[in-house]
Amino acid sequence: MTGTDWAGWQQSWDRQQEWYMPDREERFRVMLDMVEALVGPKPRVLDLACGTGSITSRLLQRFPDATSTGVDLDPALLAIAEGSFAGDERVTFVTADLKDPAWARSLPYDTYDAVLTATALHWLHSEPLTALYGQLAGLVRDGGVLMNADHMIDEATPRINAAERAHRHAAMDRARGAGALDWAEWWAVAAADPVLAEPTARRFEIYGEHADGDTPSARWHADTLRAAGFGEARPVWASPSDTLLLAVK
């Protein structure tokens, strides 16, 4: 793996994700604002379903004294994350399946100041997500936070939803015309890379082409988190399609 341009892969992943979410950096900024406001500038963070470590990267750039545990099951994205943060003692990565009831046993710490996740938990259906929120309530210390930035769709507003989706996809089509890679194209590039080919193949053995979960409303997430043991929960940022939901233990 020596000589692999991990920074280049990180940037490539970011560009692909920004094709879907042009405001991606804004949600990260607000997420870290709330981390600082509620738990301070030296947090112990669980980067949940961490992927390539996008949240961890921004966390450590802003808070050099933070520590991060990244958890994911995707061997290709974890390879990029591990390569990117190799030698950084502030960062640990754990391979775990969040649907496994025992996944948290692999973590290096019993509690965290903050659990952060973005554009990942919509891969879970509501029942396993409810169970996961219950587990996370046991990992977040009293006064700590959980933040989930993801697709949260209010089914009570179908006309608004349809108009937003049409407008967003028109912008995505224009970006594709300018050379942006979509999800499938990015993975095709990864599969052709000598270093990432094998973990990419294992990734598709685990997930298939795509895993479709649920995208319940922000209200559902807030209610479910309060039922799991968090004292307060509400949106702190939203785009027309996505929400950053903050819960305080």
Q: pLDDT truncated to tens, each residue of the chain (249 aa)?
A: 457 999 999 999 999 999 889 999 999 999 999 999 999 999 999 999 999 999 999 999 999 999 999 999 999 999 999 999 999 999 999 999 999 999 999 999 999 999 999 999 999 999 999 999 999 999 999 999 999 999 999 999 999 999 999 999 999 889 888 888 888 999 999 999 999 999 999 999 998 876 678 899 999 999 999 999 999 999 999 999 999 999 999
Question: Which helix (H) or strand (E) is 173 found in, with range?
Answer: helix 158-177
Question: DSSP assignment, residue 102?
Answer: T
- Residue labelled with tokens 């990734």: 203
**DSSP-derived 3-state class of residue 117:** strand
pTM of the model: 0.95
Point out which residues pair with 194 in neighbouring strands. Answer: none
Give the type of residue at 46.
L
**Rounded Cα–Cα distance for residues 180 and 220 (Å):** 33
Residues in CB range of 18: below 8 A, 6 or more apart: 24
